[in-house]
Amino acid sequence: MNGRTDSRPPSLAFLVPGQGGDPRGALNGLYHAGGATWTAIDDILYDIEEAAGTAGRDVRTVLLSDAPDQPLAPGVPQLATYAISVVLDRVLTSLGHRPDVIVGQSFGEIAALVCAGVFDISDGTRAVCALNAAFRGFEGKGAMVLVLAAEHETRELLDRIGRSDLVVACVNSPEQTIVSGPTEAIEALFAADGDRPRLVRLAVPYASHHPGLVAVADRFRASLSRVTQRPLRVSVHSPVGHRTYTDTDDLREALVDCVTNPLDLVAALEHVGKQGAELFVELGVGDGLCRCVHATLPGANTLAPLAGDLSWSTTPRSQPLVFPRLR
């Protein structure tokens, strides 16, 4: 890989996605794949159910069901998305595939910090529940929109619309951004006259990465006081913080920053690539972050564990990981 001829395993970067994926049935195949995967999944889901209480009662059913149309209660998509990332990390590391760095996208920073040992699974679950509670009352009052255009083109579009409450929330790739804002402002975005890039409303129940959400950030911060920070066991590079975290950082406050501050995934991927990451593994249901890697780092190796067959789930570190390769 990347011209290297020795037998060392590639430097691994785990990528933890944010919200927007469909978690229904996501772990069903892995649960029944054999080996020790079902035990790891059971243990993690038990911890999540215990920590989340009534809010977590449907997570197991959602993740292990083969019913793609089952309804999702409020808060369950976030807990299920968190569980998927933690499960994939646990299974991969149990096979000896330990990351050298982890990058969390937006909401994914909670699971990224759990995978890095900063929070245990229960405290990570409490952080997810605290975020859900902080946004309660804001559901349906804002939205996030994927814009298939470069950052400068997106900013030109927003300037043309003239709504100061529409902001660039995320730069995902050189040709993909996300806009955040109140529902009325989002409708103005879709109603914009003239040529505009393709817009896709994301399956997220509220706006995020928006400076108008100070009240949400304050509520989230207050709830995180019950969460215990531990030393980092793996490096975590933050697209929101624009840095690699250290143990001197208040990483609970770093999670709060994700509510109001924008993120730059392009800069984060470029940094991690320059630091030597050779294989990017997405800890989520889809391949969206892997595609962002390809767009940002042409020629990079990207692998998505849940995008195809699950033969990887019994592959030890002494053998190369082989996942569906994305184009």
Q: What is the pLDDT of residue 66?
A: 83
Residue 323 located in a structural domain: no
- Whether residue 21 is found in the same domain as residue 158: no
How far is it, in rounded angstroms, from Cα 327 to Cα 178? 22
Residue 324 located in a structural domain: no
CATH number, position 194: 3.30.70.250
- Whether residue 258 is found in the same domain as residue 285: yes
Residue 3 located in a structural domain: no
CATH number, position 125: 3.40.366.10
- Residue 325 DSSP code: B
At 145, phi and psi to the nearest 5?
A: -130, 130
How far is it, in rounded angstroms, from Cα 8 to Cα 111? 28
Mean pLDDT, consecutive 10-residue stretches, the chain (327 aa), reads 47 96 93 84 96 91 87 92 97 92 98 99 98 95 97 97 97 98 97 91 95 98 96 98 98 99 98 96 95 96 82 55 43
- Whether residue 155 is found in the same domain as residue 233: no
Q: What is the pLDDT of residue 232?
A: 98
Residues near 274 by beta carbon (within 8 Å), at least 6 away in sequence: none
Give the domain range for residue 182.
Answer: 142-201
- Whether residue 21 is found in the same domain as residue 132: yes
Residues near 124 by beta carbon (within 8 Å), at least 6 away in sequence: 82, 86, 110, 111, 113, 114
- Whether residue 163 is found in the same domain as residue 291: no
- Whether residue 83 is found in the same domain as residue 193: no
Residue 86 located in a structural domain: yes
Yes or no: say if 107 and 47 are a contact pair by the CB < 8 Å rule. Answer: no
Q: How far apart are the first and last CA of the chain?
A: 16
Residue 314 located in a structural domain: no
Q: What is the pLDDT of residue 1?
A: 35
Yes or no: say if 206 and 142 are a contact pair by the CB < 8 Å rule. Answer: yes
Q: Which amino acid is at 126?
A: R
How far is it, in rounded angstroms, from Cα 53 to Cα 40? 20
Judged by DSSP in three states, 200 sits in strand
User: Which residue has tokens 């660039």?
Assistant: 168
Q: What is the pLDDT of residue 310?
A: 60
Q: What is the pLDDT of residue 68?
A: 78
- Whether residue 220 is found in the same domain as residue 283: yes
Q: Indicate the angle between helix axes 265-274 and 288-296, nearest 10 degrees.
A: 70
Residues near 223 by beta carbon (within 8 Å), at least 6 away in sequence: 126, 130, 133, 134
Q: What percent of the chain has pLDDT over 90?
A: 80
Q: What is the pTM of this model?
A: 0.92
- Whether residue 182 is found in the same domain as residue 42: no
- Residue 188 DSSP code: H
User: Can you say whether the dihedral through the CA atoms of 201, 211, 246, 273 is positive or negative?
Assistant: positive
- Whether residue 24 is found in the same domain as residue 104: yes
- Whether residue 18 is found in the same domain as residue 93: yes
- Whether residue 122 is found in the same domain as residue 227: yes
- Whether residue 123 is found in the same domain as residue 219: yes
